[in-house]
Structure 1
Amino acid sequence: MFQGFSQGAVDFLWSIRFNNERSWFLAHKEEYLTLVDRPMRELGDQVHQAMEELCPELGLNLHVSRIYRDARRLYGRGPYKDHLWFTLRRPREEWVSLPAFYFEIAPEYYSFGMGCYDATPATVAKLRARIDRDPKPVEQLARKLEKSPFQLEGELYKRPKGDPGPLLAPWYNRKSISFARDENCEGLLFQPELADQVLEGFRFLKPYYDYMLSLAGDPAPEGRE
């Protein structure tokens, strides 16, 4: 049962940011396992189980990130991550360009939400085509989002793809779509009730997940990238 993260977890993430080398990590590996990895897995298990009970039709799998960076993609950085996460997503062979729920902890914030993080050009083209055909469902989602603690995020095109109006333009002109709530490392992060906060956020985002998931069944728009 998840009991909350500790200040020690935040301190460890700050420390690995400034001591990102193998000798330091090996000397502090037990701190990582106890303070960060274990509560992350406990939180992921608890939220995953609750989501399975609420939405068994989604078929979500729990994936907890490893602290080790891919050695092929270090790009001058140290070998360890200073922010860690779990995702609830479909099996890996299915999930590319499909939405996923996430929770992340970093030294200066924690965040949770949902998004299509590997959206293909075809996926966002389908979204634009949907908005062109029938903007009302996205308008309803956009208005509800504006009243929530979640923010629409994702890389914007340098050249806008179109102008469906101020409400929908931020949806229409993104290369990827995500919905995130960022919080400071305080308060609920250190309490068992964090699991309730994350679960409630995922429940709020379920209609957004369903809408983004449904795009997979649309035909590829002609003449769009």
Structure 2
Amino acid sequence: MSAQNVTIPASALQFLKTLKENNNRDWFNANKDFYLDQLGHIERFADALLGEMNAHDVIETVSGKKSLHRIYRDTRFSQDKTPYKTNWSGGFTRATALRRGGYYFNFEPGNSFIAGGFWAPEPKDMKLIRDDISFDPKPIREIIGSTTFRETFGSLQGEQLKTTPKGFDPNDEAIDLLRYKQFLLQRPFTDKEVTSDGFLEAANQTFVNMRPFFDYMSEVLASSPDGSSLT
């Protein structure tokens, strides 16, 4: 089977729906074979997606299996004691400190999306980003205002400060961008799209469309190699 023919079957989403209704260890253990079968589909899709991505980026994640997050929830510090996640999710790490930005995917009935960006930048990285934006906001505005960006992601997302970041002028022409604490890109997909024959191509193209933003950030952060990216 070629990579382009690898799909996510409807049964993979159906499993999650049923799990949500029976989120307990007895049901899960009785249906472990069903889980492993569906997990295999997701691993194969992630493998195929990784292969596509390595054609246009350098990814250090070694396999689709290694990209996936565990389905078992850590309930130690959570009020929600249900033992299992009801989504398939994972991420790909770009290779070397010079390539910034993280790739992420989430497949869940009614809430599937492809995402990427910078979830929790280190304070020194945030300072570099804000300094660059304040000095010249034109490059990032051109990227997030491009037709491709707007058609793919709509707008830049992420948590924002309610006030002016320390050390910056509240009248700065780029104050709307300087307030960002996270820099996230996200594209939603319907269940029908996720299980369609063209989803692998659509998911890969979504990651391709992140590159101008990632390249900009990578250049800005080149002098700070240990910052945090979305995982």
TM-score scaled to structure 2, two decimals?
0.79
Equivalence for 1:24: 27
Distance 2:149 2:172 in 1: 17
Q: Percent identity?
A: 22
Task: Give the match's secondary structure for 2:221.
Answer: helix
Deviation at 1:77, TM superposition (A): 3.1
Pairing 1:205-216 to 2, within 5 Å after superposition? 205-216=210-221
Q: Which runs of 5+ in 1 are unaligned?
A: 220-225
2:72 match? 68
Match of 1:204 among 205, 209, 230: 209
Segments of structure 2 that go 5 or more residues without pairing to the other structure are 225-231
1:42/1:117 CA distance change after superposition, 3 Å: same
**Relative to structure 1, is the Cα distance of residues 173 and 195 closer, same or farther in structure 2, using a 3 angstrom cutoff?**
same
Q: Does 1:11 align with 2:14?
A: yes
- C-alpha separation between the residues in 2 aligned to 1:163 and 1:111? 35
For 2:177, the equivalent position in structure 1 comes to 171
| Alpha carbons 2:161, 2:180 under 8 Å: kept | yes
The structure carrying a bigger helix percent of its residues is: 1
1:121 partnered with 2:123: yes
CA contact (8 A) 1:114 1:209 kept: no
Q: Do structure 1's residue 102 and structure 2's residue 104 form an aligned pair?
A: yes
- Distance change (3 Å), C-alpha of 1:16 and 1:215: farther
* Secondary structure in 1 matching 2:113: strand
Normalising to structure 1: TM-score of the pair? Answer: 0.81
In 2: Cα distance, 1:18 partner to 1:171 partner: 41
Shift of 1:60: 3.2
Shift of 1:218: 3.8
Q: For residues 213 and 108 of structure 1, do their structure 2 counterparts lie closer, same or farther at Cα, with a shift above 3 Å needed? A: same
Post-superposition offset of 1:80: 1.0
Distance 1:163 1:112 in 2: 34
Query: Aligned-pair RMSD on alpha carbons?
Result: 2.7
